[in-house]
Amino acid sequence: RLDVRAGLHRNDELGLVSEAFDEMAGRITQLLRSQKELLANVSHELRTPLSRIRVALDLAAEGDAQTARELLPDITEDLAELERLVQDVLTTSRLELVTEGASGATPPLRLEHVDANALVEKAAARFRTARPKHRLEVQVDGVLPGLEADPVLLRRVLDNLLDNAGKYSEPGTTVRLLARAEGSGLQLEVRDEGIGIDAEDLARVGTPFFRTDRSRARTTGGVGLGLALVRRIVAAHGGRLTLESQPGVGTTARLLLPATGAADTPDGRLVAGH
Ligand code: ADP
């Protein structure tokens, strides 16, 4: 009897070990697949703006000074796109977004005092430089609170939201950046007059690598990491991100950030609405 039980016992342990191995193998396969997907997407997306810059520079070199000046905004936009892509990949690796998944452990925040006015002003200045063909309206209501937050990550949030607003709308249209105090926290809104997001896609944008068919039809590239990063960063700060959109009319991203970053119950769910 004893022998039989010992045998059973061993089998149980073997079973557990083999289950653990299976799970590990699954995780490793998943991880490799994500890394491969990331690499493939990123290399593809780097190529488009790079070759546009090459063509524009060739044209500028062959043409007169006037032609060269006219091509500058296009080159600037493509450079901004490249820059954002590289930043997103770096932030993705810092937050282990792809390896851990959007529901993974909360990323470590390097909390500092952040001046909301400066955050908004600097993001606006970067957008104006990056997207010279868009109009940007900034509206700050009242006195903005100071935040206990990770300044580098918050910068990525604003840059990504503003960049999407510019990328998914026509040159010459207006992008609005609104900021006001909400309770003891900060509410930010980024509105565009762009292509919008279909209702059935609203809940899925913010999933790593997800891009809408509407946006794929555009020449501007994207990997589908930006909003996933925004969502994760906002969640880590105990904040909330809401997207509202009307196809063909425009999109509003609304962000609520508490004054103190690391909330006990982070609620960074992406809330879809119309
Ligand atoms: P991407 O690098 O593709 O822009 P994001 O994660 O920032 O990745 O956005 C995911 C997808 O959500 C985009 O590919 C696009 O389809 C859609 N999207 C995001 N922001 C907007 C917007 N302001 N207007 C329309 N579509 C948007």
Average pLDDT rounded to a whole number, residues 220-245:
89
* Strands 146-149 vs 174-182: parallel, antiparallel or unpaired: unpaired
Ligand 1 center to 227 CA (angstroms): 7
pTM of the model: 0.78
Higher-confidence residue of 7 and 266: namely 7
Of 168, 191, 216, which is best to mutate to test ligand 1, by the most ligand atoms within 8 angstroms of its C-beta? 168
* Residue matched to tokens 């493509």: 78
Tell me how far apart the alpha carbons of residues 222 and 18 are, in angstroms, rounded to a whole number: 40
Nearest CA to ligand 1 atom 10: 224
Which numbered atom of ligand 1 lies nearest the CA of 190?
A: 23
ipTM of predicted assembly, 2 dp: 0.98
Ligand 1 center to 135 CA (angstroms): 19
Name the CA dihedral angle for 87, 43, 197, 201, rounded to a multiple of 10 degrees: -110
Average pLDDT rounded to a whole number, residues 38-47:
81
Ligand 1 center to 40 CA (angstroms): 18
Half-sphere exposure of 273 (CA within 13 A, CB side): 9
- Whether 190 shows a pLDDT value over 90: the answer reads yes
Assign 81 a pLDDT band (cuts: 50, 70, 90): confident
Nearest CA to ligand 1 atom 19: 164
Ligand 1 center to 168 CA (angstroms): 7
Q: Note the pLDDT of residue 186.
A: 96
Ligand 1 binding residues, C-beta < 6 A: 160, 164-165, 168, 192, 194-197, 205, 211-212, 215, 222-228, 251
Average pLDDT rounded to a whole number, residues 155-167:
95
Tell me how far apart the alpha carbons of residues 160 and 156 are, in angstroms, rounded to a whole number: 6
Of 38, 95, 160, 164, which is best to mutate to test ligand 1, by the most ligand atoms within 8 angstroms of its C-beta? 164
